């Protein structure tokens, strides 16, 4: 099972390998201040897909279907799965965790 945390949450020893999975760098955080082991921005949805969801021109069901299709051809997903086989992984995002977003889709896919 993969854990998810917001980039603004406190770091824990139980986090294991910390991976930022947003395409854009989180607002208000300096790169030196975010404790993450990797930034897999290519695992995030394409800019067009992200913008369609945020502008509400696409509902979440369609977003999820298209994002899953993007992930099928994504080398970063394979890299993340390999890492999960070796150690605990925590996905980091700036997205609010109570919202429907790419992080919920990615977590379901990895679980």
pLDDT tens by residue, 4-32: 999 999 999 999 999 999 999 999 999 99
* Per-residue pLDDT tens digits for 54-64: 888 899 999 99
User: Is this prediction's pTM over 0.85?
Assistant: yes
Eight-state DSSP code of residue 55: T
Cα separation of 10 and 6, whole Å? 9
Cα separation of 19 and 5, whole Å? 10
Supply φ then ψ for residue 89, to 5 degrees. Answer: -125, 135
- Select from 61, 53, 15 the least CA-distant residue to 35: 15
Strand partners, 101: none
Domain assignment of residue 49, given as a range: 3-110
Total domains, the chain: 1
**Predicted confidence (pLDDT) at residue 97 exceeds the cutoff of 90:** no
């Amino acid at each position: 099972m993969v854990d998810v945390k917001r980039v603004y949450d406190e770091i824990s020893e139980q986090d294991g390998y910390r991976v930022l999975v947003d395409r854009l760098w989180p607002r208000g955080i300096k790169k030196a201040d975010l404790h993450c082991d990797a930034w897999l921005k290519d695992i995030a949805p394409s800019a067009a897909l992200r913008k369609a969801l945020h502008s509400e021109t696409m509902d979440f069901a369609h977003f999820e279907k298209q994002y899953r299709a993007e992930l099928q051809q994504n080398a970063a997903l394979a890299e993340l799965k390999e890492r999960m086989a070796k150690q605990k992984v925590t996905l980091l995002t700036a997205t609010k965790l109570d919202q429907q977003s790419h992080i919920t889709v990615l977590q379901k896919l990895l679980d």
